[in-house]
Structure 1
């Protein structure tokens, strides 16, 4: 467990480059200094052999780590955040000092520390001397140092391990993140207790999600037609409606403004939300249906989805009504949930945004599923929560790995906090542009905490509903991201749109704490 006592066991080894340079002194030295540099993303036996061989060549072994910001070798790397990577290396007896290098290459620190030996892995000789290795060699030899390559008779790969059998270290990564932010599990619990005083106004498209469950009878003999027998139908309020229900379940005082048709589906929505404590206001448009998405399920598989929807823009009369409501409803937080079913489009968004009260905390989510929403149309918001696909759509970027993708979206959106949802891989949070190479906490990752995924659809709505009030109350992106991720995990473990309750999240926190304490 990453606590003060554990940290003290290795903290004497965790230093900056300047601190190490001061401790070891200038060349020539009585004691020989060896330096290794790498990612060390999942420490494996090959790393241990590399470090032990390097230590055998001298007296003081320095392990230098590439900072998270400069690891671009795969889409979701590093797998292990830099603080935990440093902790892992510091726990090795052979390693005397560990530093996180904020620069893309170790050249500057080689020149500052002037190790007597700079050790590289044997794999760096496989295809001749790489230009970066040649640059390191030149820097080392410039002051009289030596570049060596450690033996490579047994080859291991962090990338191979991560891609084929990633270790389950979500709890350890969470503990490292909380410790770095001077937080603990009680910090998370305490925020949940403060939700009840918040006034939240949710504006967005209501969707009724239907699950039509059937049994498979067979296939047609003359046409490729699947034959199923109807068993049951279950309706759930979804879209912006479930965001409102999640927020109400969390304890906030919710006002919900939306547009419905004049039909039986609308009556279901009114009845469902009428049973909650949500202050519900629906503008009726008799010329459009209430959006309904009916998934045909057989043998646990989604066979087909039938949508009853009109995506045309809302008429001017309804737009004016929504603008008046946004401007007049007292709210600490205003949440725009954009499913592109009529309320939000290029024409309406500027007017709706302008109506938000000046003091309100502004939150937006824009979906790219059956419709093309663009999160960049919500400029300057306090919090946005797109998923990776939505980020790629907004930027027109299908190639970048996640971290630079999120950084660019953060810059273009001019938001204060971005929670980039990554599905089963959790999320990556961005909370400021790096002010320098040393600013390594402008982004961080939180793993998924789902234990048994039953239905992941709608988990992003649950994340939004808990992250937004947490961010408003604390201004701390770590607390918001963790509580949001926990809420999403709870939502994943139920079929259909079921509001997440604080007790569900508290149970998750309790289990994580027990895991952290090995109980």
Structure 2
């Protein structure tokens, strides 16, 4: 139902060239007025502005700033450009909508030559700003006119969003699916195509442990907590859980890693064998199998105790891994980097050079706190860092998400970048022209009730990789990867995500879109 309503208004959204053909050149029989803005959240102030503008001309055109040029806050715009355009198109008073790919409306003003350009009264309350003067000069050059709409109340989209961000997850999802010509059945069909893909995973194995305790007291003389041991649960993690996710999705998986000569080695090998992963470890008796043990009391993490050795693997081990990579036929090679010895600036070039010709190259580098950098993996087909890792890689704590993703995309020289934004979802950047209207895909998180976010990125990596192999679609990869990540968040500890888990997410999303 929601999809059909969106299609009802999509015909109003035009390119500049299409609009020129429709409205014609000056002088026109029907006067044209143009309104321009971000329109992140359309509020009563916007509506009054549009109504007044419509009263001055027969044809009302609204142009909105493209996502890539919006810099108000790290995560703005809240509403992606395609959905903002539909919001405006749904108004009866609006005749046409244009998404402006330029940073300012100057080029569109010169091309469209509207008879009037409507601005809010606030642009004259303290004198005419320089940017408004530039607009006025263009209008004056061909005989157009600026009209300032009256009013005494200014509604701020930014303040409204900060007060209570609108819940528009279904609408954002459906907008992406419509623009990419994807249905929920498309997603279900894609899951069926994941089976049988050959994937070689290379990376650091981690055993994630959860030690459950109960608080029983503390020392009076020192700040020492006293807890009662209740039990410990170990989970396969790191690059190993990526291999398990891939196998659970139906792929044929070979896993190359480095393990210590200890009991956790046997735990990992036994677990991977049960999962159906063909693990081919290099045993290094000089280092332990990496273990991260979180001590928990009453649902709170008191302490994390790590047993690890982050020094680089030896040249001999590098040679063994390179040989395994080169000799293993694979549709995709996934480098899962946690910076625990396998990957560093000495080893990465050698490992990359061993990847077979034609294999789909994927890298995930969860290393922002350990001096790794996702841009070490240049010219890969897919990379999946989180926001913190992106900012670390670029030394940039200030830039908004879209320009940040664009800069990282260019620095890494990748083909597809899926930027993980935690509870905010993901943003996918594709194509070198970041001003293109389809350069970004924004998907909100599908998590219904978060339990443990550890490992969510690994599930996304696995399902996004297989989806790209199976369909070639960035949108399908983003959606299915995000759904797999949400499934992982709703479990305690690392649990391999199955296609049935993801299907349930698809069913939930479809019901939400149809208001069921």
TM category, shorter? over 0.9
Q: Matched residue of 1:196: which SS?
A: coil
How far the C-alpha of 1:218 sits from its partner, in A, is 3.2
Which 10-residue stretch deviates more, 230-239 or 314-323? 314-323
Matched, 1:460 2:457: yes
How far the C-alpha of 1:370 sits from its partner, in A, is 4.4
Residues 172-212 of structure 1: CA distance to partner in whole angstroms, max 9, x if unpaired?
Answer: 11111111111111111111101111011111110000111
- Give the equivalent residue in structure 2 for 1:147: 146
Q: Matched residue of 1:372: which SS?
A: coil
How far the C-alpha of 1:325 sits from its partner, in A, is 1.0
Whether the 8 Å CA contact 1:206–1:240 is kept in 2: the answer is yes
What CA distance in whole angstroms lies between the structure 1 residues aligned with 2:247 and 2:119? 56
What CA distance in whole angstroms lies between the structure 1 residues aligned with 2:7 and 2:231? 59
Whether the 8 Å CA contact 1:424–1:448 is kept in 2: the answer is yes
Which 10-residue stretch deviates more, 35-44 or 58-67? 58-67
Q: Matched residue of 1:275: which SS?
A: helix
CA RMSD of superposed structures (Å) = 1.6
What CA distance in whole angstroms lies between the structure 2 residues aligned with 1:306 and 1:123? 57
Q: Which runs of 5+ in 2 are unaligned?
A: none
What CA distance in whole angstroms lies between the structure 2 residues aligned with 1:150 and 1:228? 67
Q: Matched residue of 2:132: which SS?
A: helix
TM-score by length of 2: 0.97
Which 10-residue stretch deviates more, 421-430 or 216-225? 216-225
Map residues 364-383 of structure 1 onto 2, 5 A cutoff: 364-383=363-382
What CA distance in whole angstroms lies between the structure 1 residues aligned with 2:126 and 2:113? 27
Residues 427-452 of structure 1: CA distance to partner in whole angstroms, max 9, x if unpaired?
Answer: 111111118x5x22122211111111
- Give the equivalent residue in structure 1 for 2:115: 116
| Change in CA separation of 1:126 and 1:423 when aligned onto 2, cut-off 3 Å | farther
Whether the 8 Å CA contact 1:114–1:140 is kept in 2: the answer is yes
What CA distance in whole angstroms lies between the structure 2 residues aligned with 1:112 and 1:410? 31
Whether the 8 Å CA contact 1:2–1:179 is kept in 2: the answer is no
What CA distance in whole angstroms lies between the structure 2 residues aligned with 1:432 and 1:362? 17
Whether the 8 Å CA contact 1:111–1:139 is kept in 2: the answer is yes
| Change in CA separation of 1:239 and 1:102 when aligned onto 2, cut-off 3 Å | same
Equivalent residue pairs, number: 516
What CA distance in whole angstroms lies between the structure 1 residues aligned with 2:303 and 2:100? 51
How far the C-alpha of 1:214 sits from its partner, in A, is 1.3
- Give the equivalent residue in structure 2 for 1:351: 350
How far the C-alpha of 1:217 sits from its partner, in A, is 2.2
Matched, 1:504 2:486: no
Q: Matched residue of 2:49: which SS?
A: helix
What CA distance in whole angstroms lies between the structure 1 residues aligned with 2:193 and 2:18? 42
Whether the 8 Å CA contact 1:205–1:339 is kept in 2: the answer is yes
Which residue, 477, 482, 489 being the options, matches 1:480? 477
- Give the equivalent residue in structure 2 for 1:214: 213
What CA distance in whole angstroms lies between the structure 1 residues aligned with 2:212 and 2:368? 22
Which residue, 423, 448, 452 being the options, matches 1:451? 448
Map residues 10-49 of structure 1 onto 2, 5 A cutoff: 10-49=9-48
What CA distance in whole angstroms lies between the structure 1 residues aligned with 2:8 and 2:269? 59
TM-score by length of 1: 0.96
Whether the 8 Å CA contact 1:368–1:389 is kept in 2: the answer is no
Which 10-residue stretch deviates more, 33-42 or 12-21? 12-21
| Change in CA separation of 1:222 and 1:20 when aligned onto 2, cut-off 3 Å | same
Whether the 8 Å CA contact 1:60–1:96 is kept in 2: the answer is yes
Matched, 1:61 2:60: yes
Q: Which runs of 5+ in 1 are unaligned?
A: none
- Give the equivalent residue in structure 2 for 1:489: 486
- Give the equivalent residue in structure 2 for 1:163: 162
- Give the equivalent residue in structure 1 for 2:181: 182
How far the C-alpha of 1:220 sits from its partner, in A, is 2.7
Q: Matched residue of 2:326: which SS?
A: helix
What CA distance in whole angstroms lies between the structure 2 residues aligned with 1:426 and 1:11? 26
What CA distance in whole angstroms lies between the structure 2 residues aligned with 1:386 and 1:370? 13
What CA distance in whole angstroms lies between the structure 2 residues aligned with 1:170 and 1:335? 30
Q: Matched residue of 2:341: which SS?
A: coil
| Change in CA separation of 1:504 and 1:259 when aligned onto 2, cut-off 3 Å | same
Q: Matched residue of 2:118: which SS?
A: strand
Whether the 8 Å CA contact 1:2–1:176 is kept in 2: the answer is no
Whether the 8 Å CA contact 2:36–2:63 is kept in 1: the answer is yes
Whether the 8 Å CA contact 2:212–2:231 is kept in 1: the answer is yes
What CA distance in whole angstroms lies between the structure 2 residues aligned with 1:48 and 1:129? 23
- Give the equivalent residue in structure 2 for 1:469: 466
How far the C-alpha of 1:501 sits from its partner, in A, is 0.9
What CA distance in whole angstroms lies between the structure 2 residues aligned with 1:369 and 1:144? 55
How far the C-alpha of 1:488 sits from its partner, in A, is 0.6
Whether the 8 Å CA contact 1:90–1:97 is kept in 2: the answer is yes
Matched, 1:419 2:389: no
Residues 103-131 of structure 1: CA distance to partner in whole angstroms, max 9, x if unpaired?
Answer: 21111222222222211122323443221
Q: Matched residue of 2:11: which SS?
A: helix
- Give the equivalent residue in structure 1 for 2:240: 241
- Give the equivalent residue in structure 1 for 2:255: 256
What CA distance in whole angstroms lies between the structure 2 residues aligned with 1:253 and 1:411? 32
Whether the 8 Å CA contact 2:67–2:402 is kept in 1: the answer is no
How far the C-alpha of 1:289 sits from its partner, in A, is 0.6
Residues 466-496 of structure 1: CA distance to partner in whole angstroms, max 9, x if unpaired?
Answer: 0001112222111111111111111111111
